[in-house]
Amino acid sequence: MDMRLEVIGIPVSDVEAAKAFYVDRVGFLLDHDVSPAPGMRVVQMTPPGSPCSVVIGEGMPLGEPGTTKGPQLVVEDVDAVRGELAGRGVQITEVQQLGPEGAPGSRFAFFADPDGNAWSLQEMRRS
């Protein structure tokens, strides 16, 4: 049995502010922004190169804004991506070594969206 994770819902308080943050600052690609029913809005965005998208919106049961903790964006060069995000105005931590020096997947940087939904960047270099 195959199962693919394709969409993750992120609860936000201000859809426009969150959309601007994820698209303009973080660099996600806007897949669609639709209102399929009265009182409902669905904004779907995808990180570049990812098969999994993020959805924010109104009228959907996504939980309390700011309660998502732990989505991880895996990147080839965490220093470069961290610098790019910081240059776009994202408040992001310095790169942190969490584990033995040189161990695969042990370098991270962390940031949050305007509601406090927390994300991490994890460096995984190709062999």
Mean pLDDT across the stretch 40-45?
Answer: 97
Encode pLDDT of 11-34 as tens digits. 999 999 999 999 999 999 999 999
Listed as own residue / partner, the contacts of 24-28 with beta carbons closer than 8 Å and 24 or more positions apart are 24/88, 25/85, 25/88, 25/89, 25/90, 26/85, 26/88, 26/90, 27/84, 27/85, 27/88, 28/54
Going by pLDDT thresholds of 50, 70 and 90, the confidence category of residue 127 is low
The fold of 7-123 is: 2,3-Dihydroxybiphenyl 1,2-Dioxygenase; domain 1 (3.10.180)
Task: Report domain extents, the chain.
Answer: 7-123
pLDDT at 99: 86
The reported pTM is: 0.91
Q: What is the pLDDT of residues 90-108, one digit of tens each?
A: 999 999 999 888 888 899 9
